[in-house]
Structure 1
């Protein structure tokens, strides 16, 4: 089956009892045990497994062309589990991209994970630096994020995955921004593809969920599954059901968001009050050629710098009418956010940078909204 068909059908079937086309929500936390001690379809207690969760995991495995999927209560639960699931025999050294989701940075600063693991960051757009960093000490895990958030850096996935493999390290990619619609990292040699399902896959800003898809069976995958059950960071039945609803329109939504994002990026790049636009669909982007090689489209996420100060950037964000000033990305609404003021002293984002997650509104309306917001700052 092709991607769009799998998004609608993978992991689901017509309900055999009622004939319902849409998968029912299974809210029961416990399941009847048979006289021989077995459980129907293996379901015993919902922390261990649940029909909605199983359907979602099968669907996401299919969409990423992977071996198996483990879902969690949030994207951060998935991220922390990937690091902690590193097998005992692997070095506790993690090489990460320097531009990463801010939640990862705060987790490393505020929890014991940052103390128990040797975390090293590097600019992964520079392959020579990546190679020397990985080889400078025994490494257990190489962490990629491309396109990155919020600076929209592009990493050569295949090249970095091969470096990790040569070093005996596992590789993982945060594929949230690209989605499996646009990017298939497991086919490029990556061991694990991670998603904040909250974002594009859920697609409606109304659920909280994370997922890790494995390319093949291994000790790390077994640890991820054990962590899910034993530590209890499992998604609810309803959130899994919402994700299964959202994923059906994923391809249609993402392609529209790609189209609108390119229109807006072109508009901003030509604007006299814009210093720089970071969108891989622009030929001026340093990672454009690599993105064109490994992506089927350039995504709905972009960032731009206004000409001026932090005050000017905040003025633009505060002046939009249709666009919503809010955190997160990947939903039906277009969101704008000044990341530096959110991330404060830990930020890597420039003071005059705004992140824009393009939604499903008409691109011309979004352009007009940005134009009137930009009119509030001086040239």
Structure 2
């Protein structure tokens, strides 16, 4: 089978999402075939032995590799600018396999203070059981970041923008700090996608995604992927990913390949809608603070055009009021869906303190800036006027509730 050249300089990211890593099917099928098979047969015992010994290229067993999964890996690697990638069954599978491939008892990891809740649990609850030392630091403060590095720091892990409140971290500056100590920098690029941010250009050694989100875009797959050098990806594939069994199914890879074809046009609509929703939210009296990298006064603006090529489509905002106010707002929505993912066609909204970031202790949430009234919204592909209208009626419900409560207090005060 003939593989198209992923490194053609004339190919733009929008083209790579469709053609990157594509192989020519022997029957001429335009769409990549789905190799829905658990195992692969050998012509004879010598061939089987040679493949297991690594002396002959070819597939053995789908946990060790599959043509459909390989095509997805090649395409995402091309998008991120790396020579190789490893696909995992979930985003957390990609995080865990990538971390564990390079860590041993006594090693130190430096982690951004605000990250996805399950990533936080992995570092703070699980890794420490195996003698891996972990520190969390605000990586937007480069002095604190440099001071937190140790001689035994092997990995530095961050998200940018940070989940859930969209703080932006200077990846190039953190990469320089990490590399000074000989540590690898690992960046979770889920929120941005390779179309809006390529951490490799800023010095990241490994870049990973929850492919569940924008890469797939249709809410019907859980998957992860990590991109890096050929050597690093081979290590991840042949050790932790293989032995933990967190490899991606060929059917899921096929669905993500389908979703990738529309990534460019979807991201354009996501981002356009998000700007209008953010502008609407900024004018609401009930909104105390809004976090959106697209605003001129957001610190991310200093990195626009260099690190970032857009603001993305996730918005976070805090409300005046308390936990009950946040719950009432979400429960009053009719179109927008309460769900904890992002990057789907549907607009999704969630309450980080009680949902995605519930693994944090109250003290850790406070330190990371995750308040009880913080809300995260992933703006979808619906007509933006309908998204805003739904928010409008939900804010009205909260205002009416507050008015009634105030009247009752006056009446019975």
Cα deviation, residue 9, structure 1: 1.1
Mean alpha-carbon deviation: is it higher for 54-63 or for 100-109?
Answer: 100-109
1:48 aligns with 2:58: no
Contact between 1:268 and 1:277, CA under 8 Å: does it hold in 2? yes
Deviation digits for residues 253-309 of structure 1 (CA, Å, limit 9, x no counterpart)? 112111111111111112111101101001222333224531111101110111111
Q: 2:287 aligns with which of 274, 278, 288?
A: 274
Alignment of 1:77-226 (within 5 A): 77-86=93-102, 92-112=107-127, 115-134=130-149, 136-214=150-228, 216-218=229-231, 220-226=232-238
The TM-score, its normalising length taken from structure 1, stands at 0.94
Q: For residues 27 and 188 of structure 1, what CA distance do their matches in structure 2 show?
A: 37
3-state SS of the aligned residue for 1:33?
A: coil
Contact between 1:155 and 1:290, CA under 8 Å: does it hold in 2? no
Cα deviation, residue 36, structure 1: 6.9
Q: For residues 374 and 212 of structure 2, what CA distance do their matches in structure 1 show?
A: 24
Cα deviation, residue 230, structure 1: 2.5
- Unmatched segments (≥5 aa) in structure 2: 1-10, 49-55, 403-413
Report the counterpart of residue 389 of structure 2 in structure 1.
Answer: 368
Report the counterpart of residue 5 of structure 1 in structure 2.
Answer: 15
Root mean square deviation of aligned Cα = 1.8
1:300 aligns with 2:288: no
Cα deviation, residue 377, structure 1: 1.6
Report the counterpart of residue 247 of structure 1 in structure 2.
Answer: 260
Deviation digits for residues 18-43 of structure 1 (CA, Å, limit 9, x no counterpart)? x2211121111122212373369601
Report the counterpart of residue 84 of structure 2 in structure 1.
Answer: 68
Q: For residues 183 and 86 of structure 2, what CA distance do their matches in structure 1 show?
A: 20
Contact between 2:106 and 2:133, CA under 8 Å: does it hold in 1? no
Q: For residues 221 and 274 of structure 1, what CA distance do their matches in structure 2 show?
A: 44
1:27 aligns with 2:36: yes
Report the counterpart of residue 297 of structure 2 in structure 1.
Answer: 284
Cα deviation, residue 142, structure 1: 0.7
Q: For residues 193 and 361 of structure 1, what CA distance do their matches in structure 2 show?
A: 30
3-state SS of the aligned residue for 1:243?
A: helix
> CA, structure 1 residues 139+110, in 2 after alignment: closer, same or farther (shift >3 Å)?
closer
Cα deviation, residue 106, structure 1: 2.1
Cα deviation, residue 114, structure 1: 5.2
3-state SS of the aligned residue for 1:23?
A: coil
3-state SS of the aligned residue for 2:32?
A: coil
Cα deviation, residue 340, structure 1: 1.1
Report the counterpart of residue 59 of structure 1 in structure 2.
Answer: 75
Deviation digits for residues 196-255 of structure 1 (CA, Å, limit 9, x no counterpart)? 0001101111001111100x244x433211122232211111000001001111111112
Cα deviation, residue 110, structure 1: 4.3
Contact between 2:23 and 2:71, CA under 8 Å: does it hold in 1? no
3-state SS of the aligned residue for 2:186?
A: strand
Q: For residues 151 and 329 of structure 2, what CA distance do their matches in structure 1 show?
A: 45
Count of aligned pairs between the two proteins: 374
3-state SS of the aligned residue for 2:207?
A: strand
3-state SS of the aligned residue for 1:42?
A: coil
> CA, structure 1 residues 87+313, in 2 after alignment: closer, same or farther (shift >3 Å)?
closer
